[in-house]
Amino acid sequence: MDKILRSIFILLLLNPLIGFGQKKNEVWRYEGPRIGIDMSRFLMPSIHKEIQSGFEIQADYPYKGNFFPTVEAGYQSVNDLKDSFHYTNKGPYARIGVDLNIKQFESLSDNDLVFVGVRYGFSRFAQETLAADFSNYWGTIQTSFPKKYLNAHWGELVFGLKGELLPNFFLGWSVRAKFLLSTTKDLHVTPYVIPGLGYTSSEVPFDFSITVSYRIPLIKTKTMPRPLKSKSTKRTDTDRDEDQENSDPNNTNSNTSGYGNSQY
């Protein structure tokens, strides 16, 4: 219950951001690299009662309108102090992948995304067991295991939303199903948390991220991204007529329907 109340409080803190509208008088469409930070990493210590802390930055860039090649990198540490053991691990991680926007843009000023994506993730991290003990009929053993560097590789399927709340400022979330591909073996400790992947106890760990990001408006354009389905639909004479109208520089109606000029 305590955690739920804390989550509501955090949401209320974020809510003023959401309250601002997207009212724009600008008819240009802006594009450029988007750089963000994953706020959920900061919430981790309060959500997962123990142990995790870290940060993550994300960046993407539009490619052909609906594709967003993405890079994510971060650092995560775990410090788990239990009655019978004390375990730590920490290290950087990175993911590369691509998001595909599955929502059609409604106007030049519409930058909201509904996306699906894939990621390949990699982490090299150090784990150490500072103390471990076990007791049975014959007595008690107390030991520790020194720092060891391990590698992990995994894949992710991503689904999420990104909404432009203020000009060039985006708030988004995503849910992720993760698949551990391989990890270095350790005789004593199989890591139960991997930086960037999360808990390994379930076969398909789920995670989420809440991203606040800023788009650097490098490209100013009147061009609407081509809808995904347009390639597969048959073109008719009417479509050709519309294309000719859109390509006419004297035609002012072409601003919101796309395929116009770009300014850098």
Partner 1 sequence: MRFRLTSLLFALMLLHSCDNASHCYESSDTLMVTSFNGNTIKMDSILVKGYKRNAVGDTLVSYKDTALIKKVGLPLSLTADSTGFVVYANGRSSTFWLKHTMNLQLISQSCGFAPVYKLIATRHSPMIDSVKVFDPNVDTKSAERYATNGQNITIYLHLTTP
Binding footprint of partner 1 on the chain (CB under 8 A): 3-4, 6-8, 10-11, 14-15, 18, 47-49, 80, 82-85, 87, 112, 129, 132-134, 136-141, 143, 161, 163, 165, 171-173, 175, 187-190, 192-193, 201, 208, 210
The CB-of-246 to partner 1 minimum distance in angstroms stands at 26
* CB closer to partner 1, 69 vs 103: 103
Between 1 and 182, whose beta carbon lies closer to partner 1?
Answer: 1
Report in angstroms how near the CB of residue 100 gets to partner 1 at its nearest: 18
Q: Which is nearer to partner 1, 51 or 100 (CB)?
A: 51
Pick 71 or 86: Cβ nearer partner 1: 86
| Nearest approach, Cβ of residue 152 and partner 1 (Å) | 16
Q: How far is the CB of 57 from partner 1 (least distance, A)?
A: 20
Rounded to the nearest whole angstrom, what is the least distance from the CB of residue 210 to partner 1 in the complex?
7
Smallest separation, CB 87 to partner 1 (Å) = 8
3-state SS string for the chain: CHHHHHHHHHHHHHHHHHHCCCCCCCCCEEECCEEEEECHHHHHHHHCCCCEEEEEEEEECCECCCEEEEEEEEEEEEEEECCCEEEEEEEEEEEEEEEEECCCCCCCCCCCEEEEEEEEEEEEEEEEEEEEEEEECCEEEEEEEEEEEEEEEEEEEEEEEEEEEECCEEEEEEEEEEEEEEECCCCCCCCCEECCCEECCCCCCEEEEEEEEEECCCEEECCCCCCHHHHCCCCCHHHHHHHHHHHCCCCHHHHHCCCCCEEC
Half-sphere exposure of residue 253: CA atoms within 13 angstroms, side-chain side: 5
Nearer to partner 1 among residue 84 and residue 230 (C-beta) = 84
Is the CB of 201 or the CB of 263 nearer to partner 1? 201
